[in-house]
Structure 1
Amino acid sequence: MDDLKARLRTLLSDLMLVPGLSGHEDRVRRHIAKVLDGMGLSSRTDRLGNLIATLEGEPGAPSVMLYAHTDQLGFVTRKIEANGLIRVERLGGVPEKALPAQAVRFCVGEGRDVTGIVANKSHHATPPEEKYKVTPYADLFIDIGADSAEAVRGLGIEIGTPVVYEPRVLHLNEDRVAGTSVDDRAGCAVVVEAARLLKDVSPRPTIHFVFAVLEEFNLRGAMVAAQQLQPDIAIQLDLALTADTPDMTQRGEVRLGAGPAMSLYSFHGRGTLNGTIPHPAITALVVRTAAEEDIPLQRTAHIGALTDNSYVQLVGQGVACVDLCFPSRYTHTALEVCDLRDLEQLTQLCVGAITRIAAPGFDLDRDRHT
């Protein structure tokens, strides 16, 4: 499986360097479509921008939608000051305390993007009462090195131009990757590699590999894909909050590098009153697969975050959903962290579980599992 880990490293690193603010994911979609095409897997794009590739399988088996979201959080240009400084509106759950002194990128177009920095008041001029104060994002400004609004617009920046953390990848020790948009380019990389492994498997269920848009903008893209595909089962790949740093120990038991995780309960509770309680037939399938494949399986249950499954589960007569996760630290910052060993094992878990869906005797009868 070393080849798998190496492919995941390369693909994840490439995807992390492609900017794709929610609602502006087209560059990411085109990159993934090219990778799929190189694997001999054709794909299509719906009107919202979801990328969908389908492998036909056993006609009697439940169909599966394996998916991750392509978009990332960031900002939208809100105001260009006369002196060339720029103010922005946030898009998604941006942590304000992690913003000052960060590098950002204005996504004007391929080869025309503009780098800027989020201003941070000079330390020498900061009075004591301000040193521990978090500045609201609306009061921050971004410096791109321009001296006038005309100069800013001359670079192609206008009201509405998308802004993301400056894309970067850092390799920490042997197996850990840090940088921008690990959430959820790591999930996208796993979906791609699962597709590579499943395309030659027989028997298998019909599998729809979906790279969804607009997750950071109230979870809108995957639901549209599910409405088209009407899957029986949806397996969503996203991060699990780790609890292995001093500030997170109360959050649970998930550790970085200890294997993939399965979410048993999620609920947002702030503005979006939604979440996911997974289908018992699918959680039983995942547990059995992990045991039989000797894959470590962590568990998570939390309030404060949610995934696309919270809406996908409501499509049609109901979709049997589960969130499978890779542990991640420092989420929604410019330097998120994941472990390639977790991604490798998450890929194996997905392939093993989906293969078993086509086996005789598998069904979605809740009463067999409760």
Structure 2
Amino acid sequence: MTAQSAQTRITTDTLDLMRIPGLSGHEDRVRRALRSKLEAMGIESSADRLGNLVAHFPGQGPKVMLFTHMDQLGFIVRRIEADGLIRLERLGGVPERALAAQEVLICVGEGRDVPGVIANKCHHATTPEEKYKVLPYAELYVDTGMCSAEEVEAAGIRIGTPVVYAPHASTLAHGRIMGTSVDDRAGCAVLLEVARQLKARESGPPVDLAFTVLEEFNLRGAQPLAQQLLPDIAIQIDLALATDTPDMGARGDVTLGGGPGMGLYSFHGRGTLNGVIPHPAMVHLMEESAAAEGLPLQRSAQVGVLTDLSYVQLVGAGVASIDLCFPMRHSHSARELCDARDLAALAQLLSAALARITPDFDLDRDAYT
């Protein structure tokens, strides 16, 4: 498999998956699409009661759980007004200042979804005090064009119905991908590529490759799966905040197109005292693998960022864990941006690292510190 063919496959898979709505807790369409893609490769998979999807690749050595989340952030219908306008509740870290005038999709069912728009007050009626004010989400409403609550309900929309940014996926210059839910459909596409390579391998550690649920909601959807699998090693795939734009320059040193990265520190102090400090064996493994493959390996350390690895790492007797990542701009907005070259390099790094996990792979911290 050439690097170019891997990049092309990853781009296609990312774009395909970005066009499928899958709000956290409502990932079923995405799961079915991923299962279909795995089946097309001749790879069997199974789902647990929560909806986590996992494919097992047997082998010898420490047990590895390699995973990424398939859900996306969005909204839940909170209220339907008598005139047919719809009020929303946020689900996940939705930025209020990015909401006005955004198109949304109300997910009633495949073939029956209803488009709408988050209303933006008429400019001609906006007072000077309002022009630079961000409205709280509770004051926003969705206009579907329908004229009554009865009409909205007849379309299948109820309190509790999931709503997402209207799915969009396109490519920009230099192999860059732009649209909704790059976080983390791009990670899903990377794992599909790794699955192709795992199926063709002749040796290596046992790997449970998983696409997980509920990450954007409470970060705990992967935890029951990890409790069942009891891995020795956990490798999680998600975004890294790209810091190569004027508004992000002071946050770090991660560049779009600069290659895959690894998280050296993450912490979320806003109500969730959790994060990940990676196991030294995993840092050493990724550094050695990147050097052997001639790949750059960017480093990220952030406060305010959290992944579901934070809970997976605490399963059983503790799991040797690390967050691997691809740079992404404009996180949690309706138009996120990543670089397909970074995704292809991340898949290459993962395959190389997994090949280095032999039966005698040392997980003793004292061997590395």
Instruction: Give the TM-score category using the shorter length.
Output: over 0.9
Counterpart check, 1:88 vs 2:91:
no
SS in 2 for 1:362: coil
SS in 1 for 2:292: helix
Superposed CA deviations along residues 170-222 of structure 1, whole A, max 9, x for unmatched, are 21113100100000001111011101012121221000010000001111111
**Range moving further from structure 2, 192-201 or 231-240:** 192-201
- The residue correspondences of 1:47-126 to structure 2 (distance < 5 A) are 47-58=49-60, 61-126=61-126
Partner of 1:366: 365
Counterpart Cα distance in 2 of 1:355 and 1:221:
28
- 1:36 shift after superposition: 0.4
Partner of 2:147: 147
- 1:361 shift after superposition: 4.3
Partner of 2:20: 18
Partner of 2:271: 271
Counterpart AA for 2:13: L
Moved over 6 A (4+): none
Percent sequence identity over matched residues? 62
SS in 2 for 1:65: strand
Counterpart AA for 2:276: T
Counterpart Cα distance in 1 of 2:174 and 2:264:
31
SS in 2 for 1:253: coil
- 1:336 shift after superposition: 0.3
Q: TM-score, normalised by structure 1?
A: 0.98
Count of aligned pairs between the two proteins: 367
Superposed CA deviations along residues 316-354 of structure 1, whole A, max 9, x for unmatched, are 000110000000000000000000000000000000001
Counterpart AA for 1:369: Y
Partner of 1:234: 234
Partner of 2:333: 333
Counterpart AA for 1:48: L
Counterpart AA for 2:135: T
Partner of 2:222: 222
Structure 2 residues without counterparts, runs of 5 or longer:
none
Counterpart AA for 1:275: G
- 1:256 shift after superposition: 0.3
**Range moving further from structure 2, 307-316 or 200-209:** 200-209
Counterpart Cα distance in 2 of 1:196 and 1:266:
30
SS in 2 for 1:205: coil
Counterpart Cα distance in 2 of 1:302 and 1:118:
31
Counterpart AA for 1:283: V
Superposed CA deviations along residues 84-124 of structure 1, whole A, max 9, x for unmatched, are 00001000000000000000000000100000000000111
SS in 2 for 1:357: coil
Counterpart check, 1:249 vs 2:214:
no
Counterpart Cα distance in 2 of 1:157 and 1:117:
15
Structure 1 residues without counterparts, runs of 5 or longer:
none
